[in-house]
Amino acid sequence: MKLHKQYIQLGFTNLLLLAIGGYAVYTQRYEMLFSIFLMLLISLLPHFLKGKYNIHVPVVFIYSTIVFIFLSVFLGQFGGLYDRWHWWDSFLHYISAVSFGFTGFVLIYVYYVHNKLKIPQKLILILAFFFCLGIGGLWEIIEYGIDNALGTSMQANSLDDTMIDLIIGALGGLTATIMCSLYLSRSHVPVIDSVVEAITKETVAENKAPAIAVTNKEVLS
């Protein structure tokens, strides 16, 4: 996907968020306004990284983050799904952890392919896993801040809730790491190869890819 198309798509997304933000201001739902502001910041991340560091972030990850916040804050907190479905929180943390596990892998893998990072392939997987854990910990801090600032109960005022979220996030990160490990190995799992390659191919190509495209098989040869 070309970068300008990503900006067009993100532009429509931001217009929608701004419209919802206007509604939040009108109805004085300032906790909703804070969530919208957070999503807007995340949506601007690709432009910032590309302009300042020439790093291309696949738009799918930005959308995944925005969708996660929407499902967590809007449907979970404001829509009451946390109370209605006890598994909703765990489900969101697992799915988002898988996504962030892929994100960490792709960002590190790009530098590896372009010989900007000379490390063993196993270390790429380890760093991707801990990247996922770090994002999970950051989200728990955000939840804690929202609960204390806005009087919500995203963490259910429970240490157990926080630890279960982190453990489930670790399982999601482990799932992504295993899938990426199979992609880097000579094990041919068509579904996994297709998913990981579809994500890495776009990122490698946009981040000043070499003349010859590099695949997992070529890297290992």
User: pLDDT at residue 209 above 50?
Assistant: no
Read off the tokens for 95.
Answer: 């799915």
Helix residue spans in 2-87 (DSSP H): 3-26, 30-43, 45-53, 59-69, 81-84
User: pLDDT at residue 221 above 60?
Assistant: no
pTM of the model: 0.68
Report pLDDT digits (tens) over 52-71.
776 666 666 677 777 777 78
Select from 85, 96, 107, 184 the least CA-distant residue to 137. Answer: 96
CA distances from 130 to 37, 62, 89, 111, 179 (A): 27, 19, 21, 17, 15
Q: How far apart are CA 198 and CA 175, in angstroms?
A: 18
What mean pLDDT is reported for the chain? 76
Report pLDDT digits (tens) over 156-181.
767 888 899 899 999 999 999 998 89
Report pLDDT digits (tens) over 93-123.
898 898 888 888 887 887 787 777 788 889 9
Q: What is the mean pLDDT of residues 170-197?
A: 81
